[in-house]
Amino acid sequence: MKPAAALVFHIDEPGKWPLLLGNLRNALRSDAGARLRVVANGPAPIPLWAEGLWRRELAALSAQGVEFFFCQNSLTAYELDAAGRPEGSQVAPAGVLALGEAQVQGFAYIKP
């Protein structure tokens, strides 16, 4: 039996959410045991601070075990209150460090 995949997805462009969410759904469909993590920085978090489809989908994927991290530096730069983050998500002090730490932990880097 092959080991489950461990993937860290990096998103830094707001318009890439549909592609990223599709990648996550496909990965879970192909390997339900996959360890999936998302790190969002730059302007990517902005659309997730509004109620809507992407936010609901993020919550559903989080409930399936996908980890979502938002960069605190980006939240500060775009004046987004961390308390308003999507359900099930976490804040990383620095997105670039979160990406590096994931790779040290064996996650393969994916940039949709």
Q: How much is the average pLDDT of 21-45?
A: 96
SS3 call for 12: coil
Q: How do residues 84-107 score in pLDDT, each as one tens digit?
A: 999 899 999 999 999 999 999 999
Contact 45, 83 (CB under 8 A): no
Q: How many CB atoms lie within 10 A of CB 85?
A: 21
What does each C-alpha distance from 13 to 1, 55, 60, 63, 74 come to in angstroms? 36, 16, 21, 24, 12
- Rounded to whole angstroms, the Cα distance separating 77 from 5 reads 33
Tell me, what's the pLDDT at 4?
77
Of the listed ranges 17-26, 46-55, 97-106, the least confidently predicted one is: 46-55
- Rounded to whole angstroms, the Cα distance separating 66 from 37 reads 6
- Name the helix (H) or strand (E) containing 39: strand 35-40
Q: What pTM, to 2 d.p., does this model score? A: 0.95
Give the domains, in start order, of the chain with CATH numbers: 6-110 (3.40.1260.10)
Structure tokens at 40: 């969002």
